[in-house]
Amino acid sequence: MSEAKSDIVVMKFGGTSVAGPEEIKRAARRIVAAREGGSRVVAVLSARGKTTDELVEQALEISKRPDSREMDMLLSTGERISCALCAMAIHDMGHQAISLTGSQAGIVTDSSHTRAKIIDVRADRISEKLDEDRIVLVAGFQGVSTDSLDVTTLGRGGSDTTAVALAAALDASVCEIYTDVSGVFSADPRIVSDARKLSMASYEEMLEMSASGAKVLQLRSVEYARNHGVRIHCRSSFEDGPGTLVVSEEEIGKENVEQPFVTAVTHSEGESRVTLTGILDEPGVAGKIFTALADAGVNVDVIIQNEPVGDDALADLSFTVDRSDLTTATDTIAGLGGISQGVRTDERIGKVSIVGAGMRSHPGVAAKVFEVLGEREINIEMISTSPIKISCVISADRVPDAVKALHEAFELEADAIRPEAPADPPTVTS
């Protein structure tokens, strides 16, 4: 990215930060303060409070499998409401503001409804309005497909991605994500009360954290930020504080002396498991299954296949998917016509992960994770690893216990004495 950024800041406010009239006025005051401080401001707003959940419920009350184009027409309304109301609040504070839908703001996507990808940002209209000294409010989480000219949405939590994409297109100095916690923590502060706020996280760590359930930043927003060199500053909309900077590893290496080998414990309770029993253990079968799932737009997370022990060469294959994709996944498998003898589903499974860039050079971390869970009698059902993450699928009911136990075992608490990256891994058996 270029050294000289523009004087534009992008500020994104999440659902809780615009929930009621007082919150909208508070967000408006922050936006106006940034403008009065000399920045040109583009603010991206989410739908108010639980609006999106309520809209999803309304759709499901009408139809078991709502049409995805119409779903996007419905869901995109929430963010428009927030923006129009916030523009009114800003007008009352003596500033000029204009609210824009994602489409009006030039957010161009592919046409995969409810999970669209941003393919272009045509920010001319935003730039024009900024030049007219207006504060620009953009409805998050939505865009328009140039193929169909239809409204699309970007997947749950997608306003983060709108904000980062606009920051990239406008060469903004920073993308500020205002939310209901004061930054990115070493675990969800709603589960671990003494979780530590990270002053910085690398894109790589944040990618793994978001991918494994830390919904404070949508996964795609972090990917987009990494690919375009956008600095994310995650902070509270309710109090002033330093928040968390999500930046490149090089920047962290230069500025941060404290480099723990485990950074955070993350969790998810939003996944389901599909198990195919009695599939043929021969080349091409897995390819067929996972190509069909990919074609149906289903993101598969953890996969496990066991070696057949009998003579019949039949194996069992399990994989996890986002719960909202479970029906599509099972429909897709059914469409493959008897690829397995049976299909089992667990609608609600839990997953706990530890993430840390320093893990690359520290053997024995996985062993410690398994030991800690074992001591708590938490059964590990599936395991997946990356160089900087270890994830275990466990019973959903045990997720809070597992998160707390791992957080304590890796000494991630706020007041833990944290040495610099240790030369040797701490007490682990491998």
Report the residue number, 156 or 368, with the smaller CB distance to ligand ASP.
156
Report the residue number, 40 or 48, with the smaller CB distance to ligand ASP.
48
Q: Could you please report the per-residue DSSP string of 94-134? A: T--EEEE-TTTTTEEE-S-TTS--EEEE-THHHHHHHHTT-
Q: Whole-angstrom Cα distance, residue 269 to residue 394?
A: 10
Report the residue number, 15 or 189, with the smaller CB distance to ligand ASP.
15
Q: Which does 281 bind (CB under 5 to 8 A by kind): Mg ion, ligand ASP, ligand ADP, none?
A: none
Q: Whole-angstrom Cα distance, residue 294 to residue 290?
A: 6
Q: Of the candidates 188, 322, 325, 381, which one interacts with ligand ADP according to CB under 6 A?
A: 188
Q: Of the candidates 29, 122, 190, 288, which one interacts with ligand ADP according to CB under 6 A?
A: 190
102's tokens: 């994602």
Report the residue number, 72 or 316, with the smaller CB distance to ligand ASP.
72
* Residue 52 binds ligand ASP (CB under 6 A): yes
Q: At closest approach, how far in Å is the CB of 63 from ligand ASP?
A: 20
Contacting ligand ASP within 7-36 (CB under 6 A): 14-15
Q: Which does 243 bind (CB under 5 to 8 A by kind): ligand ASP, ligand ADP, Mg ion, none?
A: none
Q: How many Cα atoms occupy the beta-carbon half-sphere of 83 within 13 Å?
A: 29
Q: How many Cα atoms occupy the beta-carbon half-sphere of 101 within 13 Å?
A: 16
* Residue 106 binds Mg ion (CB under 5 A): no
Q: Which stretch binds ligand ASP (CB under 6 A): 46-54, 102-110, 118-126, 270-278?
A: 46-54
Q: Of the candidates 106, 157, 158, 189, which one interacts with Mg ion according to CB under 5 A?
A: 157
Q: Whole-angstrom Cα distance, residue 407 to residue 315?
A: 36
Contacting ligand ASP within 111-150 (CB under 6 A): 140-141
- The answer to whether the beta carbons of residues 273 and 320 sit under 8 Å apart is yes
Alpha-carbon distance values, 251 to 246, 256, 362 (Å): 10, 8, 22
- The answer to whether the beta carbons of residues 276 and 339 sit under 8 Å apart is yes
Residues that bind ligand ADP (CB under 6 A): 14-17, 46, 157, 179-181, 184-185, 187-190, 214-216, 264
